[in-house]
Structure 1
Amino acid sequence: SVGAAYLLRAVADGTSEDAGMRWLGWLSPLEWSPYVRPYAGERWWVLALPIALAAGLIGFAFALEARRDHGAGLRPARPGPEHAAPALGSASALARRLDRGTAIWTLVGMGLFALVMGSMSNVFDSIAEDPTLADRFRRMGAGATDLTDAFYVAMIGILVVLFALIGISLVERLRREEESGRGELLLAGATSRSRVLSAFVLPALIVPIGVLILSGLLMALPAALRGDPQQLARIGGGAAAQAPGIALIVGLAVAVHGLAPRLRLLPWLVTGWSLVVNWIGAVLGFPQRVLDATPFAYLPRPPAEPMDWVPVVVESLLALGLLAAGWWGYARRDVT
């Protein structure tokens, strides 16, 4: 609910007056405070909205409390099925089932976020009026002269690191299966270690990379609907150019899991550092050698930069090497 309120507020604040979307701000409690307009044509009646909402929710809570038993939910717990569905008869099916919730919520949440970011058309004009803020955005956007391109590149630079974290978490699911003892059960039958590993690694690659490219397309969609369809290829391609960085991080997580499970924090630390650098490194004026100390620093950042396939190919090969090393280690180490 808080996320939905922020989303509505972002849409209302990020669109122009003639876009017809400002009314969505009234649906977000987070927007009511600015709507009071203190010292600028006060509208004191707006303060009645949060009071009325709080009173209604409190009354609703008391009504629900009166209908349920203490220590129980509103609906009784249902027993699970006696037998697993036939569709869960393989390691890949189990991994898909475990990853389904993460994939759906990542797709929906980050897709909506990207769409909202792309719809903030009037932000660029206001940024251009402030030279200091415009310079900061250009730094975050790989030095793009066009503020719109700088904004897109900066957002993609942050999103790609967040999606890399999701990839690590999906790889970590295999570790949790091992620690719970279920991993040993998976390998007790005819399922090979290669099939088990690939069942968990493939979603860790497909989900974040797929959502990254989709986010780039959704960010460009508002511009395409306004008559600039070329932005779909420009921004979507710029997002796709960052995919080897995700593959490299996931490959590192797999290599650590297969060769040195005790170092499982290493991928998190590398990705966390990348998030700090991509988010505020250029704005705070970090030295160039510090800015270059991330897996994403060497990848091209279209449309702010021309496409360069050399780092894309190199990082893709490095990712394949790490994945192979992780597979080799996982096939030989004790998983109990």
Structure 2
Amino acid sequence: MSTLTGTRHLVRLVLRRDRLVLPLWVLVLAVLPMTYATSFFELFPTDAERAAYAAGTARNPSIVALLGPVYGESVGALTAQRGGFLLVIVALASLLTVIRHTRVEEEAGRRELLGGGVLGRHAGLTAALLVTYAADLLLGLLTAAGLASTGLPAAGSYAYGLGTALTGVVFATLGGLAAQLTETAGGARGIGIAVLGASFALRMVGDTAGNDWPSWLSPLGWAPRIRPYEGERWWVPALPLVASALLAAVAYPVSVRRDLGAGVLPPRLGPATAGRGLAGPFGLAWRLHRGQILWWSVGFGLLGLILGGAAEAAGRSVEGNPQLEQIMARIGGASGLADAYLGATLSLAGLAAAGYGIQAALRMRAEESAGHAEPVLATGTHRSTWLLSHVVFALVGPVVVLAVTGLATGLTYGLSVEDVPRELPRMLGAGLAQVPAAWVLAGLAVLLYGLLPRLAPVAWAVLAVCVLLGQLGAVLDLDQWLLDLSPFTHTPQVLRDTWSATPLWALAAVALTLATAGLTAFRRRDVPVT
């Protein structure tokens, strides 16, 4: 029997299990660069305006740290830089997809069950990698086609798409290696995300320090250095291909030599007796969620520091553009534009925090699928208590991460305008204003879990739709009733002089209703679902 026997059947299984999530993240990430290009064509129609914007962007270290360098003054070059942070999202999606279909399957015992049939030892890893590679390549092609459809040069469009796809390929392979190193999915994710964070830090240091050699050491720094639309370097894509081959050359031998269910790194033994914190369901839930809250808070805090540092330069970056200067005058000059920029970026942070709420809510589904919920419910723990112990973190988590984001943003922006006492509470309030909308999606995840647990991942699809409506609604001139389907459409702009808190209370009430309905449905169904 070959080590690849059964790969084709596992590929079909992976595609079936990801038939909703996979197409959505590919579609969303493919469409966003096209919207950036369209916006630049409309906002900067002349060479002089684009040159002024590019110069202002290049002078701002916070923008360069977040998005990467800008290599030219064309719409294509500006679009390539604006999509720089999308590389991080593509890398994260690819990494987590491979870990989900390798280490998670093994930890849950499903890989051992499949291994009892005619299945080669390399089949599981190969199937996960093939599907993720295919998704990354499809993403690259759709991205390139979308950019070319806006009128940008085809060569640059396909260079940008290729760089995006190969970034995903590198981190997908990294996910395959991380899955071999630890015996838990959480440990594999931790290793992968730590490498992703280090890569982002290296890229930031190289792009802002004036000496870009650290960026050449980062997989996130390779795609921008292909220089789409500015004299493409077609030899640079060889770097991610070589890196992926080296990672795979390590991952495959390790996958054969280790025991099924074990990892290369020895597991860390826990204490012989449980502490008082594990005496009840809420203590157990805190133990399961605390690492997630910590790392999300750290990531959001760093993001807030960068966003706040870039806000003060937003007004200066449009000098010389009459169209934008008129807009600035209507919204209050440079300070008004900075507030508009901060409001938009904090709204994006709210969408990301909604992802945290969904992830925390779906932890209940993971616990039930792994067989951990049934033993807990076999004790004196009531169903409602067990579910609420997880729902609390699905609701508190967005509050924490958005508060951290607001405080970090307010600190750096306040320092740049020399008014920290005023800006710190303003940005904290703007961050927390996104919480009720994030709660609505968390409540939806709870409802789906309680009512139809197999469809609980549909909550991710709803989040993707909200992202699309927020990013494409104005570009496509969609009807208002369609935009209103997203809870984030109803979040007031609290950085303006006048705003109403009524929508916030209404969104919170909707979230509470959804969570309560989910609790009621959970109390009436079987555990686990057969």
TM range (shorter): 0.7 to 0.9
* Alpha carbons 2:215, 2:222 under 8 Å: kept: yes
1:180: how far off?
1.5
Cα distance in 2, alignment partners of residues 182 and 136 from structure 1: 56
Provide the rounded CA distance (Å) in 2 between the counterparts of 1:9 and 1:119: 18
Aligned to 1:126: 317
Structure 1 residues 183 and 133: alpha-carbon distance in aligned structure 2, compared to 1, 3 A threshold: farther
For residue 77 of structure 1, the aligned residue among 266, 273, 286 is 266
How far 1:212 sits from its partner (Å)? 1.0
Quote the offset at 1:107 in angstroms. 1.0
Shift of 1:274: 0.8
Structure 2, unpaired ranges of 5+: 1-194, 228-238
1:260 to 418, 428, 452: 452
The one-letter amino acid paired with 2:482 is V
* Separation (CA, whole Å) in 1 of partners of 2:498 and 2:347: 16
Determine the structure 1 residue equivalent to 2:12. Answer: none
Could you tell me which amino acid in structure 1 is paired with residue 287 of structure 2? Answer: R
Selected match of 1:91 from 269, 276, 281 = 281
Equivalent residue, structure 2, for 1:28 = 215
Pair 1:76–1:152, CA change in 2 (3 A): closer
Aligned-partner residue type, residue 85 of structure 1: A
Number of equivalent positions:
306
**In the TM superposition, what is the alpha-carbon distance from 1:123 to its structure 2 partner?**
4.3
Q: Which range is displaced more, 189-198 or 90-99? A: 90-99
Shift of 1:7: 4.5
Give 2:479's aligned residue: 287
Q: What is the alpha-carbon distance in structure 2 between the residues aligned to residue 97 and residue 134 of structure 1?
A: 51
Q: Deviations over 1:137-172 (max 9, x none)?
A: 99xx9xx98221111111111111111011111111
Shift of 1:133: 7.2
Deviation, structure 1 residue 124: 3.7
> Following the alignment from structure 1 to structure 2, what is the Cα–Cα distance between the partners of residues 250 and 74?
33
TM-score by length of 1: 0.76
Runs of 4+ in 1 over 6 A off after TM superposition: 30-35, 72-75, 132-138
- Structure 1 counterpart of 2:435, one-letter code: A
Corresponding position of 1:179:
369
Q: Distance in 1 between matches of 2:212 and 2:309?
A: 15
Q: Which one of the candidate residues 378, 381, 396 is aligned to 1:188?
A: 378
Q: 1:317 to 1:111 in 2, by over 3 A?
A: same
Matched residues in 2 for 1:32 and 1:256: separation?
Answer: 40
1:247 is paired with a residue of what secondary structure? helix
Is 1:211 matched up with 2:405? Answer: no
Residues in 1 aligned to 2:468 and 2:271: alpha-carbon distance in whole angstroms: 48
| Paired amino acid for 1:267 | A
- Is the contact made by 1:12 and 1:25 (CA closer than 8 Å) also made in structure 2? yes
Q: Is the 8 A contact 1:161 1:275 kept in 2?
A: yes
Distance (whole Å) between structure 2 residues aligned to residue 288 and residue 259 of structure 1: 30
Give the corresponding residue for 1:16.
none
Is 1:323 aligned to 2:515, yes or no? Answer: yes
1:274 partner letter: C
Higher relative contact order (CA closer than 8 Å, sequence separation 6+) = 1
Residues 137 and 118 of structure 1, relative CA distance in 2, 3 Å threshold: farther
Residues 160-175 of structure 1 aligned to structure 2 (within 5 Å): 160-175=350-365
Q: Secondary structure at the match of 1:300?
A: coil
Equivalent position to 1:155, from 345, 349, 360: 345
**Match in the other structure for 1:61:** none
Displacement after TM superposition at 1:31 (Å): 6.6
User: Is the alpha carbon distance of 1:34 and 1:93 closer, same or farther for their aligned partners in structure 2, counting shifts above 3 Å?
Assistant: closer
- The answer to whether the 8 A contact 1:204-1:250 is kept is yes
Mark the runs of 5 or more structure 1 residues left unpaired by the alignment: 14-20, 38-50, 59-63
Distance change in 2, residues 1:5/1:80 (3 Å): closer
For residues 401 and 431 of structure 2, the distance between their equivalents in structure 1, rounded to whole angstroms, comes to 10
Between the aligned partners of 2:404 and 2:520, the Cα distance in structure 1 is: 32
Alignment partners' CA distance in 2, 1:7 and 1:131: 36
CA RMSD of aligned residues (A): 4.0
Is this contact kept in 2: 1:7–1:116, CA < 8 A?
no
Q: Secondary structure at the match of 1:331?
A: helix
Whether the 8 Å CA contact 2:300–2:404 is kept in 1: the answer is no
The equivalent position to 1:237 in structure 2, one of 412, 420, 429, is 429
SS of equivalent residue, structure 1 residue 77 = coil
TM superposition shift of 1:270: 1.9
For the structure 1 residues 84 and 275, does the alpha-carbon distance in structure 2 shift closer, same or farther, using more than 3 Å as the test? farther
C-alpha distance in 1 between matches for 2:361 and 2:273:
24
How far 1:211 moved relative to its partner? 0.6
TM-score calculated relative to the size of structure 2: 0.50
SS in 2 for 1:270: helix
Identity %: 33
Deviations 1:257-313 (A, max 9, x none): 222324324422221111112233324433333322201111212214632111111
Contact 2:433 2:491 in 1 (8 A): yes
Q: Provide the rounded CA distance (Å) in 1 between the counterparts of 2:380 and 2:451.
A: 23
SS state at 2:487 partner: coil
- In the TM superposition, residue 196 of structure 1 has moved relative to its aligned partner by 0.6
Give the whole-Å Cα distance in 1 for the aligned partners of 2:344 and 2:406: 12
Q: Partner of 1:6 in structure 2?
A: 200
Number of the residue aligned with 1:272: 464
Corresponding letter in the other structure for 2:376:
L
SS in 2 for 1:190: coil
**Preserved CA contact (<8 Å) 1:128 1:147:** no
- What secondary structure is seen at the aligned counterpart in 2 of 1:28? helix
Aligned partners of 1:137 and 1:154 also within 8 Å: no
